[in-house]
């Protein structure tokens, strides 16, 4: 069972990008444990779905009436105006869901070429500008970005900031092109079984604004993310699970509740022959602070310790005693490989080969636990107790977290 990127193969159909390398990296890059697909797609030139055109019958639908000369009865067409909670929800938000086109330069003498298409959500207008949230992997490595609006108009977009860890990015376009913005809901209030709607551009702009319906299959799901593709998870992404059909190209689009409010940003799916109806979205409550930082600062401001770490489980057990001098009963933790000079860790006295086992008294089993606690429980300027082993002895120091510099 292996995860793969939809830029290469998905749903039995092979596609190629026009550039070398993978278009979508992070959110997940290569993800561990099963066929997980990032949902932006390479640009597609055309679709040969049918070899002929089919004209709709003028006699379709409605009540039967006898024809002249005793011919068989024909049907009279009937127009029905169907309005439901679902159609109202779609009408409220669909104009705010756009296409995001990634254009990359192919070479020194050539012009940029479209290498991928994803989706995005317009969430704000201010100061003559409109702001769009999408996925990091949709815009990654772009030399130019364009946004395709509901009516097909394509306008240039500026990347304000992007975050690989949360797989989110924020774009900016001129507000004069925008008529409607989406409203954010409360993803913390979402319940399993609640109806939801996915809106985006599956398979590219050919099917722009496509709508699928399903339910919330699960909340607080955790997906391990391997950002550097070294085979080890770097982050646990907390996501909403849905069975609404999500396909390549939906990446960055909206997962909407029955009120027409955005409760998630569609990001990935499980793609295996034996698996159907397992898609994931970033909860909007988790995305909002990331979006705010990207819009305001161009990056996410996270607390910073100033250490390079490695999970104890990734270090040969021979070194646990020979190099790290750990007691025999210590088998979990995060080993300090390097301390950045003048960083909070250095000022608190942490050293190379210390093995961190707890933060503020909460057990740390590996680097994943440490990063999760640091980024979700602490803020810049907070003080944090760090418990570690050095030369076989357990110690605790307190450090003041700084802002990570880029």
Q: How far apart are CA 312 and CA 370, in angstroms?
A: 12
Q: What is the DSSP letter of 382?
A: -
Show Cβ contacts of residue 13 under 8 Å, excluding neighbours closer than 6 positions: none
Q: What is the DSSP letter of 41?
A: B
Catalytic residue check, 210: no
CA distances to 2, 105, 210 from 109, rounded to whole Å, are 38, 9, 37
Catalytic residue check, 137: yes
Q: How far apart are CA 46 and CA 39, in angstroms?
A: 19
Catalytic residue check, 167: yes
Pairing of strands 383-390, 393-400: antiparallel
Catalytic, out of 251, 267, 293, 311? 251
CA distances to 348, 361, 385, 387, 390 from 396, rounded to whole Å, are 10, 10, 7, 4, 10
> In this structure, are residues 278 and 71 in contact, taking their beta carbons and an 8 Å threshold?
no
Catalytic, out of 94, 137, 187, 354? 137
Q: How far apart are CA 251 and CA 358, in angstroms?
A: 36
11: its two tokens: 């749903």
Catalytic, out of 163, 167, 243, 369? 167
Residues catalogued as catalytic: 137, 167, 251
């Amino acid at each position: 069972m292996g995860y793969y990127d939809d830029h290469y193969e998905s749903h039995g159909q092979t596609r190629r990008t026009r550039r070398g390398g993978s278009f979508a990296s992070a959110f997940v890059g290569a993800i561990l444990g099963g066929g997980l697909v990032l949902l932006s797609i390479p640009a597609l030139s055309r679709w040969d779905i049918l070899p002929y055109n089919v004209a709709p019958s003028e006699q379709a639908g409605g009540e039967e009436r006898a024809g002249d000369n005793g011919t068989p009865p024909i049907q009279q067409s009937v127009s029905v105006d169907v309005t439901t909670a679902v159609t109202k929800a779609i009408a409220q938000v669909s104009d705010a869901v756009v296409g995001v086109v990634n254009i990359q330069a192919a070479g020194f003498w050539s012009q940029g070429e479209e290498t991928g298409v994803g989706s995005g959500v317009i969430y704000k207008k201010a100061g003559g500008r409109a702001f769009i949230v999408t996925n990091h992997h949709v815009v990654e490595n772009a030399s130019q970005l364009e946004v395709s609006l509901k009516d097909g108009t394509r306008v240039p977009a500026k990347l304000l900031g992007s975050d690989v860890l949360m797989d989110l990015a924020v774009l900016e376009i001129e507000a004069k092109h925008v008529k409607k913005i989406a409203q954010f809901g409360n993803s913390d209030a979402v319940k399993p079984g609640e109806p939801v709607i996915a809106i985006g551009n599956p398979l590219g702009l050919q099917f722009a604004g496509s709508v699928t319906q399903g339910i919330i299959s699960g909340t607080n799901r955790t997906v391990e993310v391997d950002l550097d593709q070294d085979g080890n998870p770097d982050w646990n992404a907390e996501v909403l699970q849905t069975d609404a059909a999500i396909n390549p190209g939906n990446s960055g689009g909206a997962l909407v509740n029955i009120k027409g409010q955005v409760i998630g940003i569609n990001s990935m799916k499980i793609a295996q022959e034996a698996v159907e109806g397992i898609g994931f979205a970033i909860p909007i409550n988790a995305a909002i602070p990331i979006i705010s930082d990207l819009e305001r600062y161009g990056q996410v401001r996270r607390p910073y310790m100033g250490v390079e770490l490695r999970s104890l489980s990734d270090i040969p057990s021979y070194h646990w005693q020979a190099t790290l001098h750990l007691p025999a009963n210590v088998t979990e933790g995060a080993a300090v490989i390097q301390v950045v000079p003048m960083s909070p860790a250095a000022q608190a006295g942490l050293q190379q080969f210390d093995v961190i086992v707890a933060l503020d008294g909460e057990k740390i089993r590996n680097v994943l636990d440490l990063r999760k606690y640091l980024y979700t429980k602490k803020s810049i300027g907070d003080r944090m107790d760090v418990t570690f082993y050095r030369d076989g002895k357990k110690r605790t120091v307190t450090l003041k977290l700084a802002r990570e510099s880029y």
